[in-house]
Amino acid sequence: MTEIQIIINDLSKVYDNGFNALKKVNLNVKQGEILALLGPNGAGKTTLISIICGIVTPSSGTVTVDGFDIIKDYRQTRSRIGMVPQELNLENFETVFDTVSYSRGLYGKSPKPEYIKKILKELSLWDKKDLRLRQLSGGMKRRVLIAKALSHEPKILFLDEPTAGVDVELRQEMWKVVDSLRKTGVTIILTTHYIEEAETIADRVGVINQGEIILVEEKKELLKKMGQKTLTIELQERIEEIPNSLEKYNLNIGDNKMHLNYTYSLKEKQTGITNLLQDLKDAGLKLRDLKTEQSNLEKIFVNLVKENNEI
Amino acid sequence: MKFNYYGFKAIYVHEMNRFLRTVGQSLLSPLISTSLYFVVFGSVIGGYIQKIDGVSYGSYIVPGLLMLTLLTQSISNTSFGIFFPKFNGTIIEILAAPISTLETVVAFVGAGATKTLIVGAVIYTTATFFADVSVKYPMLMIFLLVLVSFTFALFGFLIGVVSKDFEQMSIIPSLVITPMVFLGGSLYSLDMLPPFWQTVSYFNPVVYLIDGLRFSFYGISDFNIWISVFSMMSFLVICVIAVSILLKKGYNIKS
């Protein structure tokens, strides 16, 4: 059974300016999983991560990491966590090697140059170890931030928008890095705007909006929903009830009674569309138009956020 | 982990490295400006001024100028030390690290004070080229220099935390500290002032610091040495309390 590593309980944050960034958030993170937190700007993603990492003080609620409280036992929790911040904030005049070694020291670990060498090599930074940070491109700086976050061999890694403003090639490289980290057993929590990112690398997906978690689900479950398509059949005449001969298709009648909706899966060998159309004809229904639509994570996400905002 | 030794060391070494990277600015600039004071006031003008309490003018101003350097250096070292990470956002790395506030403050202030004492030692050595400098009570001198360096490094930390921009950072050192040192008897004895200004000077705390340091050099003073030590200690306590309160609230650093 997978162990729960992070337990977030009724976590709330109200900033000094009155902004309520988190509203009684509850969430468990399993050891070794990759959890993607999706949400629009200002949803509370960064606040949530910042509280767990110790950068922001919660207004109420608790968070435990491996059973340790983030406030009371901050030394235990923080030494387990590495964080890659959203902003590319680095000391411009320091060298790559020095800044990564500095981070390791800050987290209370004795110097281990061979380990720093290993992570710099893995992140293709070794040949740049003596360069000053101001000499690096944005993408390279992002890698340095990851190296800094990994410098103290953390068990949990937070990535706050790791691929924001990063080109496609580098984004895919980042995903490879995350994948190789997963293999070492590191728990990864990442926030992202890119639904594609969540689809590619996450085990679970959480959707956060207006300070509330509105969905947390296994990616597989979401993919199941994503694999579904809907065939909308527009009729020439209104229909009051579905004929008995069409019951096996689980059709439903659209709002204006001029449509029939048929849901099918592309993963099935046969979608049943040919038979349905034949049976529709046999039932004497006249068709006007056909339309198919695929539900994807983006649509689920947009609908969820929209519904949530309307409440 | 009761004490994050490596974290403490990381901040301390990081700050010292910054000092070494900018050695021209950190060491040469105070060295040149103080040398100019020695040349102009000590050698040129000093030749026309009679001895004060049996000490030549060139020698008399050494403790005051040393104090001027110590105060401005210790304040600027730590105020910039903490302001920069706040300004460029790298402070979050320290906030997220398993290091206590006390360890962080002591590391920053310790590094700031160390840098100040290095600069102080260089200024002292330079002074010996321009004037006859003798130290009557060396242990007292070292004690006062260390005390002043740490206290004002802590005061600098406070300024760095409170400041929201570079302008605010420079206001206190240039508009408060420098006038207080110049009007605090660094270049003259209080006896030289008219009675009214003498009374006003009693309210300037820097007067007691310079007087105390001068006592450790030449054994001459306007006040009792304990007043100097007491005023320094009191200021240290005030800074410790202020920093503790501000950091507990996360003022300007943590929301």
Mean pLDDT over each residue of chain A, to the nearest integer: 87
Beta-carbon count within 10 A of A71 CB: 13
Mean pLDDT over each residue of chain B, to the nearest integer: 88
Closest by Cβ to A105, choosing from B10, B17, B84? B10
Lowest mean pLDDT among A281-295, B61-75, B150-164: A281-295
Q: CA torsion sign, B12 to B13 to B16 to B18?
A: negative
- The answer to whether the CB of B94 falls within 8 A of the CB of B207 is no
Query: Quick one: pLDDT at residue B182?
Result: 83
* 3-class secondary-structure state, position A232: strand
Angle subtended at Cα A55 by Cα B107 and Cα A101, rounded to the nearest 5 degrees: 50
Q: What is the pLDDT of residues A169-199, one digit of tens each?
A: 778 878 888 888 888 889 999 988 777 778 8
Nearest C-alpha neighbor of A254 from the set A271, A240, A266: A240
Query: Quick one: pLDDT at residue A11?
Result: 94
Task: Find chain A residues with C-beta within 8 A of B11's C-beta.
Answer: 106
Task: Find chain A residues with C-beta within 8 A of B10's C-beta.
Answer: 102, 104-106
Q: Pick the residue from chain A with its C-alpha nearest to B21.
A: A93
User: What mean pLDDT do residues B191-207 have?
Assistant: 86
Query: Quick one: pLDDT at residue A297?
Result: 64
Closest by Cβ to A108, choosing from B6, B94, B250? B6
Q: How many CB pairs under 8 A join A and B?
A: 79
Contact A91 B88 (CB under 8 A): yes
Contact B89 A98 (CB under 8 A): no
Q: Pick the residue from chain A with its C-alpha nearest to B9.
A: A105
Lowest mean pLDDT among B6-15, B38-47, B71-80: B38-47
Interface of A with B in 173-232 (CB under 8 A): none
Nearest-Cα distance to chain B for A68, in Å, is 13
Residues of B near A (Cβ–Cβ under 8 Å) read 1, 4-7, 9-11, 13-14, 17, 21, 84-85, 88-90, 92-99, 250, 254-255
In the CATH scheme, what architecture does the domain A4-224 have?
Answer: 3-Layer(aba) Sandwich (3.40)
Query: Quick one: pLDDT at residue B139?
Result: 94
For chain A, the domains span 4-224, 228-294
Beta-carbon count within 10 A of B143 CB: 15
Q: What is the pLDDT of residues A205-244, one digit of tens each?
A: 998 888 999 888 888 777 676 667 888 999 998 888 888 8
Closest by Cβ to A107, choosing from B7, B95, B254? B7
- The answer to whether the CB of A260 falls within 8 A of the CB of A283 is no
Whole-angstrom Cα distance, residue A262 to residue B120? 84
* 3-class secondary-structure state, position A196: helix
The CATH number of A228-294 is 3.30.70
- B100: tokens are 């206590």
Using CB atoms within 10 Å of the CB of residue B87, give its burial: 0 to 12 exposed, 13 to 18 middle, 19+ buried: middle
Task: Find chain A residues with C-beta within 8 A of B84's C-beta.
Answer: 91
Task: Find chain A residues with C-beta within 8 A of B86's C-beta.
Answer: none
Q: Most B CBs within 10 Å: which of A13, A66, A71, A107, as the mutation test of the B interface? A: A107
Query: Quick one: pLDDT at residue A1?
Result: 47
Contact B97 A78 (CB under 8 A): yes
DSSP state of B55: B
Lowest mean pLDDT among A55-69, A91-105, A137-151, B183-197: B183-197
Lowest mean pLDDT among A70-84, A267-281, A286-300: A286-300
Contact A81 B95 (CB under 8 A): no
Query: Quick one: pLDDT at residue A14?
Result: 93
Q: Pick the residue from chain A with its C-alpha nearest to B85.
A: A91
Nearest-Cα distance to chain A for B167, in Å, is 21
Interface of A with B in 66-125 (CB under 8 A): 74-79, 81, 83, 85, 87, 89-93, 98, 102-111
Contact A16 B255 (CB under 8 A): yes
Q: Most A CBs within 10 Å: which of B2, B20, B21, B92, as the mutation test of the A interface? A: B92
Contact B90 A90 (CB under 8 A): yes
* pLDDT confidence bin for B48, thresholds 50/70/90: confident
* pLDDT confidence bin for B191, thresholds 50/70/90: confident
Beta-carbon count within 10 A of A9 CB: 14
Closest by Cβ to B10, choosing from A90, A92, A106? A106
Radius of gyration of chain B, Cα coordinates, nearest whole angstrom: 19
**Residues paired with A60 in a beta bridge:** A12
Task: Find chain B residues with C-beta within 8 A of A53's C-beta.
Answer: 96
